[in-house]
Amino acid sequence: MRIIPAIDILGGKCVRLTRGDFSTKKVYNDDPLEVAKEMEDNGIRYLHLVDLDGTKSKMIVHYRILEKIASQTSLEIDFGGGIRSYNDLRIAFGSGARQVTAGSIAHSSPALVLEWLSKFGNEKIILGADSKDSKITINGWQKESESDVISYISDYCSKGIKYAICTDVEKDGLLEGPATDLYREIISAVKVDLIASGGISSLDDIIEIKEAGCEGAIIGKAIYEGKIKLKELRDLC
């Protein structure tokens, strides 16, 4: 299973939110590149980079930070936040992203995302399938749709999607454990490389979702709050 630390960018700084609520913002470092280099120095290979300003603006904002991290580290970056158009996609890949996550746009414009999938291939496009009460959430988790998360992922997988990131919004940032039961349910119903996100607070949580069959684990707040040390993750990489 891939270990994928997260860097969320707001106002150019490395922050964490709770349940996607911008009013809960906590700044951990003014320089995301410094954080990324520390991760690399500890043997981390993958990075989940989120442009929170892009999420609000509905267009990519912090491509320069993406470019800096991609050019000054060897981290393999999946990038999300504000991807709404082919131009956003072009900028993200041109700035060094290895993969791009299609979140809200996958719900509002599925034909466009399938076009990207056809053009770039299923190793490049990740489906963002974040949910609350098993329903897909969109617009930075501010709106709950009527789409069932398992059916949603299944439909996209039938059309060629290989990877999906699933965050249970109710778990995000609380450090109370991941939505392992949901992940088991998805994996048992759909053939997908599922990346778990949200709630991870310990190495035991990581082992639990690995045993559930997840392809990757995105870890954020637990690292910044010192619940999990980067050197401990190095042994799992």
Domain that holds residue 62: 2-234
What was the pLDDT predicted at 236? 81
Average pLDDT, the chain: 95
Active-site residue, from 51, 78, 88, 130: 130
What was the pLDDT predicted at 144? 73
Q: What is the 3-state secondary structure (H, E, C) of 204-216?
A: HHHHHHHHHCCCE
Calpha distance 98→135 (Å, rounded) = 28
What is the pTM assigned to this prediction? 0.95
Residues paired with 99 in a beta bridge: 78
Q: Examine the residue annotation and report whether 8 is marked as an active-site residue of this protein.
A: yes
pLDDT in tens, 93-150: 999 999 999 999 999 999 999 999 999 999 999 999 999 989 998 876 666 788 999 9
Strands 193-197 and 216-219: parallel
Q: Examine the residue annotation and report whether 204 is marked as an active-site residue of this protein.
A: no
How many distinct structural domains can be found in the chain? Answer: 1
* CATH number, residue 80: 3.20.20.70
Active-site residue, from 8, 51, 78, 88: 8
What was the pLDDT predicted at 141? 63
pLDDT in tens, 197-218: 999 999 999 999 999 999 999 9
Decide if pLDDT at 170 tops 90.
Answer: no
